A and B are shown apart, each in its own frame.
Chain A
Amino acid sequence: EIVLTQSPGTLSLSLGERATLSCRASQTVSNSYLAWYQQKPGQAPRLLIYGAAARATGIPDRFSGSGSGTAFTLTISRLEPEDFVVYYCQQYGSSPVTFGGGTKVEIK
């Protein structure tokens, strides 16, 4: 199975700053079938990005995804207060689908 490694584990930034989250795969993710999720405390995950770069319905354009092969990135252009939570990547290019360990974005 494909192992996804997210870095950093914790990202400390200020309001309005740009956040860059990394997700690296142990093998090529076919067709760039990579998704990103946001999870707030006590809530279920919410889909942000699928197909590496397509924003899900209702997701603000400050969230963007990029990458291919084994290296993918989630960028939050200007951090808002509600963005300081945990983010997960997921690959669905091969079975079984797998998730990364998560990146927590915290207020500096």
Chain B
Amino acid sequence: EVQLVESGGGLVQPGRSLRLSCAASGFNFGDYGMHWVRQVPGKGLEWVSGITWNSGTLAYADSVKGRFTISRDNAENSLFLQMHSLRAEDTAQYFCVKGGNYVLVNWFDRWGQGTLVTVSS
């Protein structure tokens, strides 16, 4: 069974940093592109960042470009999102998401339950 378990969320002050992690199991992690998608509670979905199977291509939404960095460790079946210079508008539930195959621009066939990031003083 595919499982994606996020961790690392919490309350953080504006301007500070936070690192999210996602532990994957139940599939060949190294064969798939992986992504982070966020959702403000009660609102819609926003793609944040994605990474190809071999970390060869990284992509970011304009809203986080230059502040967030996505990475992965295929040996540890893990996905990460390093977030710097956090803003109030980054407050959201962050989902770790599995792409449909190895390419970056893809449908999302498995989602974690998410980790909540709250940016507030």
Chain A binder among B8-16, B66-74, B79-87, B101-109:
B101-109
Shortest Cβ distance from residue B108 to the other chain A in the assembled complex, whole angstroms: 6
Considering only CB atoms and an 8 Å cut-off, how many residues of chain A contact the other chain? 24
On whether the beta carbons of A44 and B104 are closer than 8 Å, the reply is no
Q: Is B61 an interface residue (CB 8 A)?
A: yes
Measured in the bound complex, the distance between the Cα atoms of B111 and A14 in whole Å is: 29
On whether the beta carbons of A44 and B47 are closer than 8 Å, the reply is no
Residues of chain A with a CB closer than 8 A to B107's CB: 33, 35, 47, 50-51, 90, 92
On whether the beta carbons of A50 and B100 are closer than 8 Å, the reply is yes
| B28-50 interface bits toward A, Cβ cutoff 8 Å, 1 = contact, 0 = none | 00000000000000001111001
On whether the beta carbons of B111 and A92 are closer than 8 Å, the reply is no
On whether the beta carbons of B46 and A95 are closer than 8 Å, the reply is no
Please list the residues of chain B having a beta carbon within 8 angstroms of any beta carbon in chain A. 44-47, 50, 59, 61-62, 95, 100, 104-114
The 6 A-B residue pairs with the shortest CB-CB distance in the complex, in nearest-first order: A44-B111, A50-B107, A35-B107, A99-B45, A47-B109, A97-B47
Please list the residues of chain A having a beta carbon within 8 angstroms of any beta carbon in chain B. 33, 35, 37, 43-47, 50-51, 56, 88, 90, 92-102
